[in-house]
Structures are given as C-alpha cells and as structure tokens.
C-alpha cells in the first residue's frame, strides 16, 4: 500500500556468472570511495558500516538505515562495469547479488582527506548489452528450482509466507514457510490470510469498471459530477474517473505526517476526504503519471455514491462472491480475523511487529487481506470474463499512459514479453504479488508477512524462468 510498486521485471535469481572479467575500481578518490562503499555495504557489519559513514557520510544521520535497507533488498551489490570516471566523480553499473537486476550508481565526492560524498544516486537500469539472461525452464525443472530458491530465502530470514503457481485453475505447486505468529509459534499455511497492501486496487478497479459496464458511470465523468459536494472545486471539475484509475490525476498520496497523526481516526473513506479533500492537485490531470493512493481512495468513494452501498459490501458481492473468494476482506484491525497472519518489519538488525503502522481498516487504495487460493480464483475469474467483459478487461490491462506499465488498476508486463497483468502490494511487514498470464492460463501468487521485496523477489524469479508455452 505504501510503496509505488511497479513490477520488478527480472529479480531474485539463481547465481549467474557475469559476462567478461570483473571491472576494476578506479584509483581515484571517487573510485576508492565507491570501493569502500560496496565493501561496507556487502559486509552487513554494523561496525564497518558505521566506520564508512563516519569517514565518508558524516552529514547523513540516516545513512545507516539507507545502507541496511539496500543490503536487505539486494543482498549486496557487485561492480559490473565503470561507465565514467574522473577524480571526484564516478559512475558505475552494479549487479544485485540476489537478483538479475542491474543498477547505475553515481558518486561525487569532495576534494578532502578523507573525501566526503556530496552526491550519490542509484537507479535500476535494463541489463547491459551482453549481460546473462535467465533461461526458460521446463515446468518440472522450474518447480524444483523455484522451491529451492524459496527455501534459500526462508533460511536467510527473507521469506515468510505462501506461494502458488496455477494453470487453468489447477495448482502446479504451492506451499508455505515461516511463522504467521512468531510469538505464539503458529506456522504459515495455505489457509493463512495475508495483508496485501495495494493489491486492493485491482478489486477497486474491477468494481469501478463493472459500474461503467452497467451504464451507471463513465470513464470521462469528473469527480464533481459524481460527488458534487467535493471540497476542492478545481479537483472536482478536472479529474476524471479514467485519471484516477490510471494514476494520472495528480491527486497525491495519503501517507505522510498527517496520516501518522490521524491513522486511527481514519475509519471510513469519507474520513480521508475530510482530511485531504481541500488540497489542490500536484499537477494537471493527464500531464504525467504518478502513483496515487488518494486517487484510488476517491474511487472507493465514487463506488459508494454510485452503487448506494458501502465499498466493502459492493466488492464482497460483485467480486469476492462472483469469483468464489471466501477468505478475503478488509475488516478493521480491531476485529479478530481467523487465520490472519501478523506482520513483521525490520528495525535495523531486529524484526518487530508492524502493528504501529497499520491503518484502522483496509480501503479502496489498499490494506485488505486474502489467501493464495482466493487470488487464484480471482485470476481465474478475470481470465474467464466472469468479472469483466472481454473488451473491458483488455482496456484495463493495456497501457493507459506513456509509462506503458499501468492500465486501469493493473500493472502490466513489458511489451517485449508474453502478455501479463496483475498487481503487487507492499508496506511495513507485508508484501504480495499476483501475476496473470492470460495467453497460457497461468497465475503466480506470492504472499508474505515481511517487508518488501520478500514476495516480489520470489514471484519475479519465476517470472523470468517459467515456461509460457507448455
């Protein structure tokens, strides 16, 4: 729910050899700082990290947290190549140790002794020319290798949850690892319900599009047409339903200082509108793409207004019931939900409960819960057009903006790959992914009660290797 999760196109991999000989670090001040940065990062050692920060990042009190997060998310970084090098600047391509991903790091340092980092950036990039690419595996081999990858992650404390891979509604492989409740020693099982963060956006999008199909709503309706009392006239008159569905409305987020202060007071969708409804747009609708949790919160309000039902009742009747999903919902956190796992997040070198971060209740923007089997049923209902018409689903799972990787409430795979769609979700102590492959009838589901990228890394490992034609 917090994260701006876009499908990680190729991640967590078997150890692959890098093409060519390892690059050498430049013997410049910037090159030496880069080498020291990677040595400290890859060690994961608190003393080494603090020593590096004291020497080269003394102005960044949160540098330890940043480096620990990077170490956890990548498993470490290795130098792949140097793209440019000057005395006080260096730009390098780095390879993630626990993924097939590559990153570009740029470092600028001061002319001092020791040199201090004045600027540092890290961005994910496409694999460089000549970099190794994972091979597609036959189904049996893919299952064995995937489970081995899951077991490896679980043994390192980086996977706690469930997985399910299905084809035409039949399970190819599934299983569970880790604890649903560490304090009580309760294991995760395939019946465990996991919080799913932003995956609720798929349900919100389907519900909105069902109302469009029924003629009760138009993609070109403005917020003001449906909600005439919306507090900000500019937002109401310019933002359309299609903008909200595609994150192109400029409506911003719901997380930040205000949310932290009012977290347990935000009990209904209207409570969010009361808190955020008067603020203006961050940019004019359609001008650019920017992930907006508030936009999907507004879609929930629109669903309630048009349908005359609560968002939760409409989704339960028109999606959960229609798809046969019996273990999904968004009950408040103070309601005891059978088999709902607890979430655990990292606090530097410890794992702690995510309870202090949870909203009062899941919303149309995210925060519900489900099981792997229910998501398999949802995927099957989409592919069978039991929830949306063929043409509606096709539009929802086609690029709706120049970014090319988001439709209407669905994240979309790369255009050079077999067609796929779905959504991920991530927040402190939770991570989840659903990916649907309509041409081969397959679906992949991973649910975790740990921080990102515990689930997305496992799901995307299979994405890069699974057979698409068997």
Taking only the tens place, the pLDDT of each residue in 16-32 is 333 334 579 999 999 99
**176 shares a domain with 97:** no
**334 shares a domain with 188:** yes
**244 shares a domain with 103:** no
CATH assignment at residue 206: 3.40.710.10
**179 shares a domain with 65:** no
Provide the pLDDT for residue 401.
85
Mean pLDDT value across residues 180-194: 98
Provide the pLDDT for residue 5.
33
**167 shares a domain with 45:** no
**170 shares a domain with 225:** yes
Of 125, 146, 175, the residue at which a domain comes to its end is 125
Residue 237 or residue 469, greater confidence: 237
State pTM to two decimals.
Answer: 0.89
How many distinct structural domains can be found in the chain? Answer: 2
- For residue 156, being part of any structural domain is answered with no
Check pLDDT > 90 for residue 7. Answer: no
- For residue 149, being part of any structural domain is answered with no
- For residue 300, being part of any structural domain is answered with yes
Residue 9 or residue 254, greater confidence: 254
Give the range of the structural domain holding residue 92, as residue numbers without chain letter. 29-125
Mean pLDDT value across residues 87-114: 95
**373 shares a domain with 235:** yes
Of 125, 145, 177, the residue at which a domain comes to its end is 125
- For residue 232, being part of any structural domain is answered with yes
Provide the pLDDT for residue 470.
58
Provide the pLDDT for residue 348.
84
- For residue 1, being part of any structural domain is answered with no
**169 shares a domain with 110:** no
Check pLDDT > 90 for residue 349. Answer: no
Terminal C-alpha separation, the chain: 34
Q: What is the pLDDT of residues 62-73, one digit of tens each?
A: 999 999 999 999
- How many of the other CB atoms lie within 10 Å of CB of 135? 9
Check pLDDT > 90 for residue 269. Answer: yes
**191 shares a domain with 117:** no
- For residue 130, being part of any structural domain is answered with no
Which tokens is 309 given?
Answer: 């039902």
- For residue 304, being part of any structural domain is answered with yes
Q: What is the pLDDT of residues 277-325, one digit of tens each?
A: 999 999 999 999 999 999 999 999 999 999 999 999 999 999 999 999 9
Mean pLDDT value across residues 199-209: 98
Distance of CA 10 to the CA centre of its chain: 14
Q: How far is CA 189 from CA 30, 68, 178, 192, 461, in A?
A: 49, 30, 9, 5, 22
Burial class (CB in 10 A: 0-12, 13-18, 19+), 444: buried
Cα separation, 256 vs 351, whole angstroms:
23
Mean pLDDT value across residues 204-216: 98
Q: Please state, for a pLDDT cut of 70, what percent of the chain lies above it.
A: 95
Q: How far is CA 375 from CA 95, 165, 447, in A?
A: 33, 11, 10
Residue 313 or residue 347, greater confidence: 313
Cα separation, 195 vs 369, whole angstroms:
4
Residue 403 or residue 341, greater confidence: 341
CATH assignment at residue 43: 3.10.450
**253 shares a domain with 384:** yes
> In the Cβ-directed half-sphere of 187, how many Cα atoms lie within 13 Å?
6
Provide the pLDDT for residue 99.
86
Provide the pLDDT for residue 415.
81
**412 shares a domain with 266:** yes
Check pLDDT > 80 for residue 53. Answer: yes
Check pLDDT > 70 for residue 6. Answer: no
Provide the pLDDT for residue 107.
98
- For residue 316, being part of any structural domain is answered with yes
Q: What is the pLDDT of residues 423-467, one digit of tens each?
A: 999 999 999 999 999 999 999 999 999 999 999 999 999 999 999
Q: What is the pLDDT of residues 377-393, one digit of tens each?
A: 999 999 999 999 999 99
Q: What is the pLDDT of residues 139-184, one digit of tens each?
A: 999 999 999 999 999 999 999 999 999 999 899 999 999 999 999 9
């Amino acid at each position: 729910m917090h994260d701006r999760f876009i499908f990680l196109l190729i991640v967590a991999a078997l150890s692959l050899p890098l093409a060519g000989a390892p690059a050498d670090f430049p013997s410049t001040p910037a090159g030496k700082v880069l080498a020291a940065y990677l040595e400290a990062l890859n060690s994961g050692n608190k003393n080494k990290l603090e020593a590096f920060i004291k020497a080269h990042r003394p102005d960044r009190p949160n540098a330890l947290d940043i480096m620990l997060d990077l170490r956890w998310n990548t498993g470490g970084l290795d130098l792949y190549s140097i793209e440019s090098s000057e005395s006080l600047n260096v730009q390098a391509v780095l390879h993630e140790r626990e993924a097939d991903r590559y990153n570009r790091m740029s470092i600028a340092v001061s002319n001092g002794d020791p040199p201090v980092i004045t600027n540092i950036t890290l961005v994910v990039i496409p694999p460089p020319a000549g970099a190794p690419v994972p091979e597609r595996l036959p189904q049996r081999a893919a299952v064995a290798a995937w489970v081995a990858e899951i077991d490896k992650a679980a043994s390192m404390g980086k996977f706690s949850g469930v997985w399910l891979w299905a084809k035409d509604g039949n399970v190819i492989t599934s299983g569970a690892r880790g604890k649903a409740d560490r304090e009580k020693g309760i294991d995760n099982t395939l019946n465990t319900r996991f919080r799913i963060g932003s995956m609720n956006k798929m349900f919100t999008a389907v519900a909105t599009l069902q109302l469009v199909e029924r003629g009760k709503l138009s993609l070109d309706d403005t917020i003001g047409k449906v909600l005439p009392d919306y507090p900000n006239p500019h937002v109401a008159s310019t933002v359309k339903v299609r903008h909200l569905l595609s994150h192109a409305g400029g409506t911003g987020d719901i997380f930040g200082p205000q949310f932290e202060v009012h977290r347990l007071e935000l009990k209904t969708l209207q409570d969010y509108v009361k808190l955020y409804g008067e603020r203006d747009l961050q940019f004019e609708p359609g001008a650019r793409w920017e992930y907006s949790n508030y936009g999907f919160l507004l879609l929930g309000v629109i669903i309630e207004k048009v349908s005359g039902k609560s968002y939760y009742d409409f989704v339960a009747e028109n999606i959960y019931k229609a798809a046969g999903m019996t273990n999904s919902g968004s009950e408040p956190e103070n309601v005891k939900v059978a088999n709902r796992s607890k979430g655990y997040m990292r606090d530097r070198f410890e794992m702690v409960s995510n309870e202090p971060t949870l909203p009062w209740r899941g919303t149309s923007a995210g925060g519900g819960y489900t099981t792997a089997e229910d998501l398999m049923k949802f995927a099957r209902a989409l592919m069978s057009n039991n929830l949306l018409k063929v043409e509606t689903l096709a539009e929802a799972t086609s690029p709706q903006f120049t970014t090319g990787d988001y439709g209407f409430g669905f994240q979309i795979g790369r255009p050079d790959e077999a067609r796929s769609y779905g959504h991920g979700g991530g927040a402190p102590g939770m991570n989840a992914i659903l990916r649907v492959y309509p041409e081969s009838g397959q679906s992949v589901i991973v649910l975790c009660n740990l921080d990102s990228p515990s689930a997305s890394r496992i799901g995307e490992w299979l994405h890069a290797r699974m057979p698409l034609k068997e």
